[in-house]
Amino acid sequence: MRQRRSVGLRVWLVVATILTPLVWVGGAQAGQLQVALVRLDRMAKSTNTGGTVCFKPASAGSTSSVVIKFPTSFTLATGTGNFVANTTADPDSVGSGNLYWPSGASALTNVQNGDGDNSAKTATFAVSPAMTLTVGTLYCFNFNLTDSSVLVTGSTVSGSLGGNVATNLDSANIAFAVVDTGQDQINVSAVVPPIFQFDLGGTTDPVPHTGNLDYTAVNESQGISVTVHTNAKQGWVAWAKSANQGLQSTSIGGSTGLIGSVGWNAAAPTHLQPNVSSKYGLAVTIAASGTSTCTMGVAPEYNTASVDGSPLGTDRYSGAATANFQQIGQCAGGTSNGDALLLKERVAITSVTPAATDYTDTLTVVGAGYF
């Protein structure tokens, strides 16, 4: 009898020894979510927040609810359906590769708006109809995408506050953190300074741009552009002055070696007459009109576009090349994004203009914004 008991006890012990670990393992796989997280939109204390819930089930089967338990220091609005759920994985609409949800996450598509319960500190989201969850798949949904007062973080800073995520099959404890006011956001500030960019298209400008001066026609350079970019709200202005007030030949020297500038003619350029008189001057036109709010204009003394013959022949005009800065153009009343003037030198000579290879002038162009 005693031997029978002993055998029975041994068998029971063997069976118990074999089964005990299996029962423990099975219990662990059924109850503990593989992954569980609640990412709050705001972590600062006493702040309205929404969040994102993600979990990876460990147990196969269907679930009809997901319950989030928040820390006791949090304040929830008690109500039916007041935790507004959605399954938008890309609220910024940035397309594939967006990082709003963890990589590979699937939407918990049947999740419904949750019911808040402040006494239990829970938000219960029904999953209707119930979904059969796949073990190892990460499921996510958002709540309160537009932060509202249905969930308010605790008023005390803490690095670890207990919480829980539970489905019908599994659950897992999670940790929340609350930081001090302003510690969960980065205030980005920047200053756009007022700037003025001045571009001169070249540094030399032969007249004419190929060959020698011709006494039967008005000679013209290819031109140098003056381009401005500025965020000054009132616009800009450009001036030019001439070092020699004409084309000066050093080898001839003196007034004999000077093809002098046309005289100052207020409000209109001067007619150049080939083989009548030797004269030099500046012609200014609008080279480019950028995507700007300012209005381009050429000073009337240099605005040859309005008086030049069409087609261009010998009938050409120019403004005076002066020793002091004279306004050649402007872009008024707004910002400027690539507005440009084109500055050309024009020369008329006669058949008796002294020959030399070193006629030259230096023009200085300066730009500035309005005050």
Partner 1 sequence: MGNIKMLGALFLAVAMVVGPVTPIWTGVAEAAKATATPLTRPTAPLRLTTSPLPIVLNTKPGQSASTDIKIKQSGGDTEQLQVSLMKFSATGETGQPKLSDRGPGDDYFDWVTFDRPTFTAPNDVWQTVKMTVNVPKSAAFSYYYAVVFSRVGDTIKVGNGQSGIAGGTAVLVMMSVDSPGASRSLQLATFSVAHRVMEFLPTDFTVRLKNNGNVFVRPGGNIFISQGNKQVGLVTVNSELGMVLSGSTRAFSAEWNYGFPYFNDVKIDGKNKIDKKGNPVRVLNWGLPEPDKTSAISSGEDDFIAKQSRNPLTNFRFGEYTAHLLITYPDNFGHDVPMESTLTFWVIPWRMLLVVLAILLVVGFGLYSSARRAMGWTKVVRKFGKRR
The minimum distance between CB 31 and partner 1, in angstroms, equals 54
| Burial class of 110 by CB neighbour count within 10 A (0 to 12, 13 to 18, 19+) | middle
Size of the site for partner 1 (CB under 8 A): 63
Give min distance, CB of 311 to partner 1, in A. 20
**Would you count residue 256 as binding partner 1 (CB under 8 A)?**
no
Binding of residue 91 to partner 1 (CB under 8 A): no
Q: What is the DSSP letter of 244?
A: S
**Could you give the string, one character per residue 46-85, with x where binding to partner 1 holds by CB under 8 A and - elsewhere?**
----------------------------------------
Q: Binders of partner 1 among 275-294, rule CB under 8 A?
A: 289-294
From residue 207 to residue 226, the character string flagging contacts with partner 1 as x (rule: CB under 8 A) and all else as - is x----xx-------x--x-x
Rule CB under 8 A: say whether 201 interacts with partner 1. yes
Structural contact between residues 346 and 283, judged by C-beta atoms closer than 8 angstroms: yes
Site string for partner 1, 168-197 (x = CB under 8 A): ------------------------xxxxxx
What is the nearest approach in angstroms of partner 1 to the Cβ of residue 229?
Answer: 8
The reply on whether position 156 binds partner 1 by CB under 8 A is no
- The overall longest dimension of the chain from CA atoms, in Å, is 149
- 207, 302 contact by CB (below 8 A): no
Closest by CA to 304, choosing from 331, 335, 275, 265, is 265
Cβ neighbours for 56, distance < 8 A, ≥ 6 positions apart: 33, 34, 35, 36, 136, 137, 138, 139
Residue 367 C-alpha from the chain's centroid: 29
Q: Does 310 participate in binding partner 1 (rule CB under 8 A)?
A: no
- The C-alpha angle 247, 253, 255, rounded to 5 degrees, equals 70
User: Which of 213, 236, 231 shows the shortest CA–CA distance to 355?
Assistant: 213
The answer to whether residues 43 and 148 touch, using CB atoms and an 8 Å cutoff, is no
By CB under 8 A, residue 343 contacts partner 1: yes
Distance CA 366, CA 201 (A): 13
Looking at the Cβ atoms of 138 and 258, the one nearer to partner 1 is: 258
Question: Rounded CA gap, 279 and 273, in Å?
Answer: 8
Among 37, 66, 67, 237, indicate the residue that binds partner 1 (CB under 8 A): 237
Near partner 1 in 312-331, by CB under 8 A: 324-325, 327, 330
Nearer to partner 1, 93 or 324 (CB): 324
Judged by CB under 8 A, the residue of 112, 169, 198, 354 near partner 1 is: 198
Give the span between the Cα atoms of 210 and 235, in whole angstroms: 36
Contact segment (CB under 8 A) with partner 1 among 29-37, 114-122, 164-172, 205-213 equals 205-213
Pairing of strands 106-107, 139-143: parallel
Helix (H) or strand (E) holding 12: helix 2-31
Q: Name the residues that contact partner 1, by CB under 8 A.
A: 192-207, 212-213, 221, 224, 226, 230, 232-234, 237, 239, 243, 247, 250, 289-297, 324-325, 327, 330, 332-333, 337, 343, 345, 357-371
